[in-house]
C-alpha cells in the first residue's frame, strides 16, 4: 500500500463551499496567508492526497465531503492582484511568497460531520481541528481518523 497524505482544509462556505467545488470540479486553493499552512501545501502535499473539506464560520460547522489534491503547489496569483482581498505586495512574480495547490471534488457527504460531534467522539476528539484555539486552516489528518469520518459521512 502506498502511503499518501491526508489533510483537512477549511473554507468559509459563504466564500467557497463544497457545492461550489462540486459544480466546478476543481479549484485552486487560493488565499492562504499563513506560513504553516503554505508550507504544508508547498512542501508536504502530494498528488492524490486525500482532503477533508471543512466548513468554518457557518451555522453547520464541520466536515462536509472529500476532495483530493490534483495539482502540486504553484504560486498564488491572487497575491499579485491589487484588487484581490488577498493581495500581498511582498509577493512578487520573481519571488512568490504564497502558494496554492489545486483540489478536485470527490464526493459530498450525506450529512455534515459536525465539530460538536467530533469533539464528543472518543477517537475523533483527538483531531487537531477539535483542539482549543486551533486556527490553522490546513491540517494533517491520520488514516484512522479518515476511516472513521468516511464511515460516518459516506
Residue 137 as a binder of DNA (CB under 7 A): the answer is: yes
Quick one: which of 6, 10, 64, 112 contacts DNA (CB under 7 A)? Answer: 10
Of 136 and 146, CB closest to DNA: 136
Query: Which of 116, 123, 125, 142 is in the footprint of DNA by CB under 7 A?
Result: 116
Helix (H, G, I), strand (E, B) or coil at 2: coil
Q: Which is nearer to DNA, 120 or 154 (CB)?
A: 120
Stretch that binds DNA, among 16-24, 33-41, 69-77, 140-148 (CB under 7 A): 33-41
Q: Is 135 in the site for DNA (CB under 7 A)?
A: yes
Half-sphere exposure of 116 (CA within 13 A, CB side): 4
Q: Interacting stretch for DNA, rule CB under 7 A, among 44-52, 100-108, 131-139, 140-148?
A: 131-139
Radius of gyration of the CA atoms of the chain, in A: 15
Contact pick of 28, 39, 56, 107 for DNA (by CB under 7 A): 56
> Comparing C-alpha atoms, which of 19, 43, 41 is closest to residue 29?
41
Residue 137: alpha-carbon gap to chain centroid:
7
Q: Does 149 bind DNA (CB under 7 A)?
A: no
| CB neighbourhood size of 72 (10 A) | 14
DSSP 57-107: SSSS-EEEEEEEEEEEEEE-GGGG-TTSTT--TT--SSS---EEEEEEEEE
Binding of DNA by 68 (CB under 7 A): no
Residues that bind DNA (CB under 7 A): 10, 12, 33-36, 56-58, 61, 90, 115-116, 119, 129, 132-137
Amino acid at each position: 500500500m502506498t502511503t499518501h497524505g491526508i489533510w483537512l482544509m477549511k473554507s468559509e462556505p459563504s466564500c467557497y463551499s463544497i457545492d461550489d467545488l462540486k459544480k466546478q470540479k476543481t479549484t485552486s486553493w487560493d488565499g492562504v496567508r499563513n506560513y504553516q499552512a503554505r508550507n504544508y501545501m508547498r512542501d508536504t502535499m502530494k498528488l492524490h492526497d486525500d482532503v477533508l473539506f471543512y466548513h468554518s464560520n457557518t451555522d453547520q460547522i464541520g466536515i462536509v465531503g472529500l476532495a483530493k489534491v490534483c495539482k502540486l503547489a504553484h504560486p498564488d496569483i491572487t497575491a499579485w492582484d491589487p484588487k484581490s482581498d488577498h493581495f500581498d505586495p511582498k509577493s512578487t512574480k520573481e519571488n512568490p511568497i504564497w502558494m496554492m495547490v489545486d483540489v478536485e471534488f470527490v464526493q459530498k457527504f450525506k450529512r455534515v460531520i459536525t465539530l460538536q460531534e467530533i469533539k464528543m467522539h472518543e477517537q475523533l476528539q483527538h483531531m487537531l481541528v477539535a483542539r482549543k484555539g486551533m486556527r490553522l486552516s490546513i491540517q494533517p489528518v491520520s488514516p484512522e481518523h479518515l476511516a472513521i469520518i468516511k464511515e460516518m459521512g459516506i
